Chains A and B, each alone.
Chain A
Protein backbone atom coordinates (compact mmCIF):
# COMPACT_ATOMS: atom_id res chain seq x y z
CA UNK A 1 0.00 0.00 0.00
CA UNK A 2 1.26 3.44 -0.84
CA UNK A 3 0.79 4.93 2.58
CA UNK A 4 2.60 2.03 4.19
CA UNK A 5 5.55 2.60 1.89
CA UNK A 6 5.47 6.32 2.50
CA UNK A 7 5.40 5.75 6.23
CA UNK A 8 8.35 3.40 6.06
CA UNK A 9 10.25 5.82 3.87
CA UNK A 10 9.65 8.62 6.32
CA UNK A 11 10.77 6.40 9.15
CA UNK A 12 13.92 5.55 7.24
CA UNK A 13 14.59 9.17 6.44
CA UNK A 14 14.16 10.27 10.04
CA UNK A 15 16.29 7.47 11.33
CA UNK A 16 19.21 8.00 9.03
CA UNK A 17 19.14 11.75 9.56
CA UNK A 18 19.23 11.17 13.31
CA UNK A 19 22.29 8.97 12.94
CA UNK A 20 24.10 11.81 11.23
CA UNK A 21 22.86 14.39 13.68
CA UNK A 22 23.93 12.33 16.65
CA UNK A 23 27.36 11.97 15.15
CA UNK A 24 27.32 8.25 14.50
CA UNK A 25 27.89 8.79 10.80
CA UNK A 26 29.62 11.38 8.69
CA UNK A 27 29.55 12.22 5.01
CA UNK A 28 31.85 9.36 4.07
CA UNK A 29 28.87 7.10 4.76
CA UNK A 30 26.93 9.19 2.27
CA UNK A 31 29.73 8.59 -0.23
CA UNK A 32 29.33 4.86 0.25
CA UNK A 33 25.58 5.05 -0.17
CA UNK A 34 26.10 6.89 -3.40
CA UNK A 35 28.29 4.08 -4.68
CA UNK A 36 25.43 1.64 -4.27
CA UNK A 37 22.96 1.03 -7.07
CA UNK A 38 20.46 -1.54 -8.31
CA UNK A 39 23.33 -3.66 -9.56
CA UNK A 40 25.07 -3.56 -6.20
CA UNK A 41 22.26 -3.30 -3.65
CA UNK A 42 24.28 -4.78 -0.80
CA UNK A 43 27.44 -2.77 -1.20
CA UNK A 44 27.07 -0.65 1.91
CA UNK A 45 25.95 -3.45 4.18
CA UNK A 46 28.79 -5.64 2.96
CA UNK A 47 31.42 -2.99 3.51
CA UNK A 48 30.21 -2.14 7.00
CA UNK A 49 29.99 -5.80 7.83
CA UNK A 50 33.65 -6.19 6.93
CA UNK A 51 34.39 -3.12 8.98
CA UNK A 52 32.70 -4.55 12.07
CA UNK A 53 34.57 -7.84 11.67
CA UNK A 54 37.74 -5.79 11.45
CA UNK A 55 36.80 -3.92 14.65
CA UNK A 56 36.25 -7.13 16.59
CA UNK A 57 39.55 -8.58 15.46
CA UNK A 58 41.62 -5.46 16.09
CA UNK A 59 40.05 -4.86 19.49
CA UNK A 60 40.76 -8.42 20.52
CA UNK A 61 44.42 -8.12 19.51
CA UNK A 62 44.88 -4.77 21.20
CA UNK A 63 43.24 -6.08 24.33
CA UNK A 64 45.78 -8.85 24.45
CA UNK A 65 48.64 -6.41 23.99
CA UNK A 66 47.37 -4.24 26.82
CA UNK A 67 46.72 -7.09 29.21
CA UNK A 68 49.99 -7.33 31.13
CA UNK A 69 50.81 -4.00 32.80
CA UNK A 70 54.55 -4.72 32.83
CA UNK A 71 54.64 -5.85 29.26
CA UNK A 72 52.49 -3.71 27.01
CA UNK A 73 53.26 -3.84 23.31
CA UNK A 74 52.41 -0.23 22.49
CA UNK A 75 53.68 -0.66 18.97
CA UNK A 76 51.11 -3.30 18.34
CA UNK A 77 48.39 -1.21 19.95
CA UNK A 78 49.41 1.79 17.87
CA UNK A 79 49.24 -0.29 14.73
CA UNK A 80 45.77 -1.52 15.69
CA UNK A 81 44.53 1.98 16.40
CA UNK A 82 45.93 3.19 13.10
CA UNK A 83 44.09 0.49 11.21
CA UNK A 84 40.90 1.06 13.12
CA UNK A 85 41.05 4.79 12.55
CA UNK A 86 41.62 4.21 8.87
CA UNK A 87 38.77 1.85 8.27
CA UNK A 88 36.31 3.76 10.46
CA UNK A 89 37.17 6.85 8.49
CA UNK A 90 36.63 5.01 5.21
CA UNK A 91 33.11 3.93 6.11
CA UNK A 92 32.03 7.11 7.86
CA UNK A 93 31.91 5.66 11.37
CA UNK A 94 32.46 9.03 12.99
CA UNK A 95 32.28 8.20 16.69
CA UNK A 96 34.53 5.19 16.33
CA UNK A 97 37.02 7.30 14.44
CA UNK A 98 36.97 10.01 17.08
CA UNK A 99 37.70 7.55 19.87
CA UNK A 100 40.66 6.36 17.81
CA UNK A 101 42.07 9.86 17.83
CA UNK A 102 42.09 9.92 21.64
CA UNK A 103 43.29 6.35 21.65
CA UNK A 104 46.30 7.25 19.54
CA UNK A 105 47.20 10.05 21.94
CA UNK A 106 47.19 7.64 24.87
CA UNK A 107 49.33 5.27 22.90
CA UNK A 108 51.82 7.96 21.99
CA UNK A 109 52.50 8.68 25.65
CA UNK A 110 52.29 5.02 26.58
CA UNK A 111 49.39 5.56 28.92
CA UNK A 112 48.09 2.07 29.55
CA UNK A 113 45.11 3.15 31.63
CA UNK A 114 44.07 5.64 29.02
CA UNK A 115 44.45 3.01 26.34
CA UNK A 116 42.27 0.60 28.25
CA UNK A 117 39.58 3.25 28.62
CA UNK A 118 39.72 4.03 24.92
CA UNK A 119 39.65 0.37 24.06
CA UNK A 120 36.50 -0.07 26.08
CA UNK A 121 34.97 2.99 24.48
CA UNK A 122 35.81 1.95 20.94
CA UNK A 123 34.37 -1.48 21.63
CA UNK A 124 31.16 0.13 22.84
CA UNK A 125 30.93 2.54 19.94
CA UNK A 126 31.36 0.01 17.20
CA UNK A 127 28.76 -2.25 18.76
CA UNK A 128 26.25 0.56 19.09
CA UNK A 129 26.83 1.55 15.49
CA UNK A 130 26.49 -2.03 14.38
CA UNK A 131 23.07 -2.28 16.01
CA UNK A 132 21.94 1.03 14.57
CA UNK A 133 23.00 0.15 11.07
CA UNK A 134 21.38 -3.25 11.34
CA UNK A 135 18.15 -1.45 12.14
CA UNK A 136 18.71 0.90 9.24
CA UNK A 137 19.26 -1.94 6.79
CA UNK A 138 16.19 -3.73 8.14
CA UNK A 139 14.16 -0.62 7.39
CA UNK A 140 15.57 -0.61 3.88
CA UNK A 141 14.52 -4.20 3.40
CA UNK A 142 11.02 -3.46 4.64
CA UNK A 143 10.71 -0.60 2.18
CA UNK A 144 11.87 -2.77 -0.69
CA UNK A 145 9.59 -5.61 0.33
CA UNK A 146 6.68 -3.20 0.41
CA UNK A 147 7.51 -2.31 -3.16
CA UNK A 148 9.04 1.07 -2.43
CA UNK A 149 12.38 2.59 -3.22
CA UNK A 150 14.94 3.68 -0.67
CA UNK A 151 14.94 7.45 -0.40
CA UNK A 152 17.95 9.50 -1.40
CA UNK A 153 18.79 11.45 1.69
CA UNK A 154 20.62 14.75 1.50
CA UNK A 155 22.36 15.35 4.76
Chain B
Protein backbone atom coordinates (compact mmCIF):
# COMPACT_ATOMS: atom_id res chain seq x y z
CA UNK B 1 0.00 0.00 0.00
CA UNK B 2 1.42 3.31 -0.98
CA UNK B 3 -0.90 5.15 1.32
CA UNK B 4 -0.75 4.79 5.03
CA UNK B 5 -3.81 6.92 5.66
CA UNK B 6 -5.23 7.45 9.08
CA UNK B 7 -7.12 4.68 10.71
CA UNK B 8 -7.74 1.94 8.24
CA UNK B 9 -9.60 -1.27 8.71
CA UNK B 10 -6.40 -3.20 8.75
CA UNK B 11 -3.28 -1.65 10.10
CA UNK B 12 -0.44 -1.89 7.65
CA UNK B 13 1.26 -4.46 9.86
CA UNK B 14 -1.93 -6.50 9.87
CA UNK B 15 -2.17 -6.31 6.12
CA UNK B 16 1.44 -7.36 5.80
CA UNK B 17 0.98 -10.36 8.01
CA UNK B 18 -2.23 -11.26 6.26
CA UNK B 19 -0.51 -10.72 2.95
CA UNK B 20 2.42 -12.92 3.82
CA UNK B 21 0.10 -15.61 4.96
CA UNK B 22 1.15 -15.06 8.52
CA UNK B 23 -1.22 -15.51 11.36
CA UNK B 24 -2.82 -12.32 12.50
CA UNK B 25 -4.01 -12.88 16.02
CA UNK B 26 -4.89 -10.18 18.49
CA UNK B 27 -5.00 -10.91 22.22
CA UNK B 28 -8.20 -12.83 22.83
CA UNK B 29 -11.03 -11.40 24.83
CA UNK B 30 -13.06 -14.34 26.07
CA UNK B 31 -16.29 -12.42 25.75
CA UNK B 32 -15.94 -11.80 22.08
CA UNK B 33 -16.83 -14.09 19.26
CA UNK B 34 -13.64 -15.29 17.68
CA UNK B 35 -13.69 -16.46 14.09
CA UNK B 36 -10.93 -18.28 12.28
CA UNK B 37 -11.11 -17.43 8.58
CA UNK B 38 -9.23 -19.54 6.05
CA UNK B 39 -8.75 -18.44 2.44
CA UNK B 40 -5.80 -18.55 0.10
CA UNK B 41 -6.94 -15.38 -1.68
CA UNK B 42 -5.65 -12.21 -0.08
CA UNK B 43 -8.48 -10.11 -1.46
CA UNK B 44 -11.05 -12.53 -0.07
CA UNK B 45 -9.31 -12.63 3.30
CA UNK B 46 -9.45 -8.86 3.58
CA UNK B 47 -13.11 -8.79 2.64
CA UNK B 48 -14.20 -11.61 4.94
CA UNK B 49 -12.21 -10.10 7.75
CA UNK B 50 -13.98 -6.77 7.30
CA UNK B 51 -17.37 -8.46 7.07
CA UNK B 52 -16.71 -10.31 10.30
CA UNK B 53 -15.33 -7.32 12.15
CA UNK B 54 -18.31 -5.25 11.18
CA UNK B 55 -20.48 -7.87 12.85
CA UNK B 56 -18.42 -7.58 16.03
CA UNK B 57 -16.26 -10.63 15.62
CA UNK B 58 -12.63 -10.95 16.44
CA UNK B 59 -10.93 -12.45 13.43
CA UNK B 60 -7.86 -14.52 12.82
CA UNK B 61 -7.25 -14.89 9.10
CA UNK B 62 -4.91 -17.50 7.67
CA UNK B 63 -4.05 -18.42 4.12
CA UNK B 64 -4.19 -22.21 4.17
CA UNK B 65 -5.65 -25.27 5.82
CA UNK B 66 -2.23 -26.12 7.20
CA UNK B 67 -1.91 -22.77 8.91
CA UNK B 68 -5.39 -23.20 10.30
CA UNK B 69 -4.44 -26.54 11.81
CA UNK B 70 -1.25 -25.03 13.10
CA UNK B 71 -3.20 -22.24 14.74
CA UNK B 72 -5.58 -24.72 16.32
CA UNK B 73 -2.70 -26.85 17.50
CA UNK B 74 -3.91 -29.77 15.41
CA UNK B 75 -0.78 -30.22 13.38
CA UNK B 76 1.24 -33.09 14.75
CA UNK B 77 4.58 -31.32 15.13
CA UNK B 78 3.51 -28.73 17.65
CA UNK B 79 3.23 -29.34 21.36
CA UNK B 80 -0.19 -29.30 22.93
CA UNK B 81 -1.92 -26.00 22.56
CA UNK B 82 -2.67 -23.66 25.41
CA UNK B 83 -6.34 -24.43 25.46
CA UNK B 84 -7.41 -21.53 27.60
CA UNK B 85 -5.84 -19.11 25.23
CA UNK B 86 -7.52 -20.59 22.23
CA UNK B 87 -11.21 -19.90 21.92
CA UNK B 88 -12.59 -20.31 18.46
CA UNK B 89 -16.31 -19.90 18.00
CA UNK B 90 -16.55 -20.34 14.27
CA UNK B 91 -14.33 -21.48 11.46
CA UNK B 92 -15.07 -20.19 8.00
CA UNK B 93 -13.07 -21.63 5.17
CA UNK B 94 -12.82 -21.46 1.42
CA UNK B 95 -13.39 -24.75 -0.34
CA UNK B 96 -10.90 -24.53 -3.20
CA UNK B 97 -7.46 -24.07 -1.79
CA UNK B 98 -4.14 -25.46 -2.96
CA UNK B 99 -2.68 -28.15 -0.71
CA UNK B 100 -5.56 -28.79 1.62
CA UNK B 101 -9.11 -28.12 0.52
CA UNK B 102 -11.72 -26.68 2.82
CA UNK B 103 -13.40 -30.06 2.83
CA UNK B 104 -10.22 -31.76 4.05
CA UNK B 105 -9.83 -29.10 6.71
CA UNK B 106 -13.43 -29.65 7.77
CA UNK B 107 -12.78 -33.36 8.18
CA UNK B 108 -9.71 -32.78 10.30
CA UNK B 109 -11.58 -30.38 12.53
CA UNK B 110 -14.44 -32.79 12.96
CA UNK B 111 -11.97 -35.52 13.86
CA UNK B 112 -10.47 -33.47 16.66
CA UNK B 113 -11.90 -33.77 20.12
CA UNK B 114 -11.11 -30.17 20.96
CA UNK B 115 -12.70 -28.53 17.99
CA UNK B 116 -15.34 -30.83 16.56
CA UNK B 117 -18.08 -28.77 18.20
CA UNK B 118 -16.94 -25.59 16.56
CA UNK B 119 -19.25 -24.73 13.67
CA UNK B 120 -17.46 -24.82 10.34
CA UNK B 121 -18.78 -22.89 7.38
CA UNK B 122 -17.57 -23.52 3.85
CA UNK B 123 -17.36 -20.82 1.20
CA UNK B 124 -17.15 -21.52 -2.49
CA UNK B 125 -17.44 -19.64 -5.72
CA UNK B 126 -19.01 -22.68 -7.34
CA UNK B 127 -22.52 -23.84 -6.71
CA UNK B 128 -21.95 -27.56 -7.02
CA UNK B 129 -24.66 -29.63 -5.37
CA UNK B 130 -22.42 -32.62 -4.71
CA UNK B 131 -19.87 -30.41 -3.07
CA UNK B 132 -22.44 -28.76 -0.86
CA UNK B 133 -23.94 -32.11 0.12
CA UNK B 134 -20.57 -33.63 0.92
CA UNK B 135 -19.65 -30.73 3.15
CA UNK B 136 -22.95 -30.72 4.98
CA UNK B 137 -22.75 -34.48 5.45
CA UNK B 138 -19.29 -34.12 6.89
CA UNK B 139 -20.70 -31.74 9.46
CA UNK B 140 -20.36 -28.30 7.96
CA UNK B 141 -22.77 -25.89 9.54
CA UNK B 142 -23.45 -23.90 6.44
CA UNK B 143 -22.29 -23.29 2.93
CA UNK B 144 -21.87 -19.80 1.54
CA UNK B 145 -21.68 -18.97 -2.12
CA UNK B 146 -19.05 -16.42 -2.96
CA UNK B 147 -18.90 -13.49 -3.23
CA UNK B 148 -19.81 -13.38 0.43
CA UNK B 149 -22.10 -10.58 1.45
CA UNK B 150 -22.86 -8.87 4.70
CA UNK B 151 -26.26 -10.56 4.86
CA UNK B 152 -24.54 -13.97 4.73
CA UNK B 153 -22.23 -13.09 7.60
CA UNK B 154 -25.06 -11.63 9.63
CA UNK B 155 -26.90 -14.90 9.26
CA UNK B 156 -23.87 -16.84 10.51
CA UNK B 157 -23.59 -14.46 13.39
CA UNK B 158 -27.13 -15.11 14.40
CA UNK B 159 -26.54 -18.74 15.16
CA UNK B 160 -23.52 -17.96 17.27
CA UNK B 161 -25.47 -15.79 19.66
CA UNK B 162 -27.16 -18.29 21.86
CA UNK B 163 -26.76 -16.82 25.32
CA UNK B 164 -26.74 -13.11 24.99
CA UNK B 165 -26.27 -10.94 28.03
CA UNK B 166 -27.43 -7.47 27.22
CA UNK B 167 -25.77 -4.86 29.40
CA UNK B 168 -28.11 -2.36 27.89
CA UNK B 169 -31.48 -3.77 26.99
CA UNK B 170 -32.05 -1.24 24.27
CA UNK B 171 -28.84 -1.88 22.47
CA UNK B 172 -29.84 -4.79 20.37
CA UNK B 173 -32.90 -4.97 18.24
CA UNK B 174 -33.10 -8.75 18.36
CA UNK B 175 -36.38 -9.84 19.98
CA UNK B 176 -34.76 -11.11 23.18
CA UNK B 177 -37.29 -11.49 25.99
CA UNK B 178 -36.33 -9.40 29.00
CA UNK B 179 -36.73 -12.13 31.54
CA UNK B 180 -34.42 -14.58 29.86
CA UNK B 181 -30.75 -14.72 29.04
CA UNK B 182 -31.16 -16.93 26.07
CA UNK B 183 -31.72 -15.82 22.56
CA UNK B 184 -35.19 -16.32 21.26
CA UNK B 185 -34.72 -19.34 19.05
CA UNK B 186 -37.80 -18.51 17.08
CA UNK B 187 -35.92 -15.67 15.49
CA UNK B 188 -36.96 -15.41 11.90
CA UNK B 189 -33.74 -16.35 10.26
CA UNK B 190 -35.12 -15.86 6.75
CA UNK B 191 -31.80 -16.15 4.98
CA UNK B 192 -31.31 -14.92 1.48
CA UNK B 193 -31.10 -17.70 -1.09
CA UNK B 194 -27.60 -18.94 -1.67
CA UNK B 195 -27.37 -17.68 -5.18
CA UNK B 196 -25.30 -14.99 -6.72
CA UNK B 197 -27.32 -11.84 -6.44
CA UNK B 198 -28.65 -10.49 -9.65
CA UNK B 199 -28.61 -6.81 -10.29
CA UNK B 200 -32.22 -6.57 -9.23
CA UNK B 201 -31.57 -7.71 -5.68
CA UNK B 202 -32.78 -5.32 -2.99
CA UNK B 203 -30.37 -2.63 -1.85
CA UNK B 204 -28.29 -3.57 1.10
CA UNK B 205 -30.09 -2.67 4.28
CA UNK B 206 -28.06 -1.05 7.01
CA UNK B 207 -26.79 -3.27 9.78
CA UNK B 208 -29.78 -2.99 12.05
CA UNK B 209 -29.56 -6.42 13.64
CA UNK B 210 -26.44 -5.73 15.61
CA UNK B 211 -25.51 -3.09 18.06
CA UNK B 212 -22.31 -2.06 16.41
CA UNK B 213 -23.23 -1.21 12.87
CA UNK B 214 -20.26 -0.43 10.71
CA UNK B 215 -18.11 0.44 13.66
CA UNK B 216 -14.38 0.38 13.45
CA UNK B 217 -12.68 -2.44 15.33
CA UNK B 218 -11.72 -0.01 18.09
CA UNK B 219 -15.32 0.01 19.26
CA UNK B 220 -15.63 -3.73 19.54
CA UNK B 221 -14.61 -4.03 23.16
CA UNK B 222 -17.70 -2.33 24.47
CA UNK B 223 -20.12 -4.42 22.54
CA UNK B 224 -22.42 -7.14 23.68
CA UNK B 225 -21.04 -9.64 26.07
CA UNK B 226 -21.51 -13.06 24.67
CA UNK B 227 -21.44 -16.12 26.79
CA UNK B 228 -21.33 -18.53 23.96
CA UNK B 229 -19.70 -21.71 25.07
CA UNK B 230 -18.11 -23.83 22.43
CA UNK B 231 -18.89 -27.06 24.18
CA UNK B 232 -22.62 -26.63 23.77
CA UNK B 233 -23.88 -27.91 20.50
CA UNK B 234 -24.76 -25.01 18.28
CA UNK B 235 -28.29 -24.40 17.24
CA UNK B 236 -28.44 -26.09 13.92
CA UNK B 237 -30.24 -23.95 11.44
CA UNK B 238 -31.97 -25.59 8.55
CA UNK B 239 -29.30 -26.98 6.32
CA UNK B 240 -28.80 -24.33 3.74
CA UNK B 241 -29.08 -25.75 0.31
CA UNK B 242 -28.36 -23.75 -2.73
CA UNK B 243 -31.02 -24.03 -5.34
CA UNK B 244 -29.48 -25.56 -8.39
CA UNK B 245 -28.19 -23.03 -10.80
CA UNK B 246 -28.16 -24.64 -14.19
Assess whether B216 is in contact with A40, with CB atoms less than 8 Å apart: yes
By a beta-carbon cutoff of 8 Å, the part of chain B in contact with chain A is 1, 3, 5-10, 15, 41-44, 46-47, 50-51, 54, 96, 98, 125, 146-150, 197, 199, 201, 203-204, 214-219
A93: min CB distance to chain B, Å = 10
Residues of A within 8 A of B197 (CB): 27-28
CB distance A30 to B204 under 8 Å? yes
| A82: Cβ under 8 A from any B Cβ | yes
For the residues of B in contact with A, the DSSP-based class is loop
Bound form: Cα–Cα A49–B5 in Å: 14
Known: A50-B46, A90-B41. A37 touches B204 (CB 8 A): no
A115 at the interface (CB under 8 A from B): no
Interface status of A31 (Cβ within 8 A of chain B): yes
Find out whether the CB atom of B150 lies under 8 angstroms from the CB atom of A35.
yes
Chain A: minimal CB distance from B206 (Å) = 8
Bound CA span A28–B197, Å: 9
| Nearest CB on A from B91, distance (A) | 19
Max chain A C-beta neighbours (<10 A), residue from B7, B15, B47, B215: B47
For B125, list chain A residues within 8 Å (CB).
85-86, 89
The answer to whether A42 and B8 touch across the interface, beta carbons within 8 angstroms, is yes
Smallest Cβ distance from B221 to chain A, in angstroms? 14
* Chain A to chain B: the 9 pairs with minimum beta-carbon distance, closest first: A39-B216, A40-B9, A87-B43, A37-B214, A90-B147, A42-B5, A28-B147, A43-B9, A89-B147
Residues of A close to B15: CB separation below 8 A: 46
A51 at the interface (CB under 8 A from B): yes
- Residue numbers in B under 8 Å from A50 (CB-CB): 42-43, 46
Q: Is A13 an interface residue when CB atoms closer than 8 A count as contact?
A: no
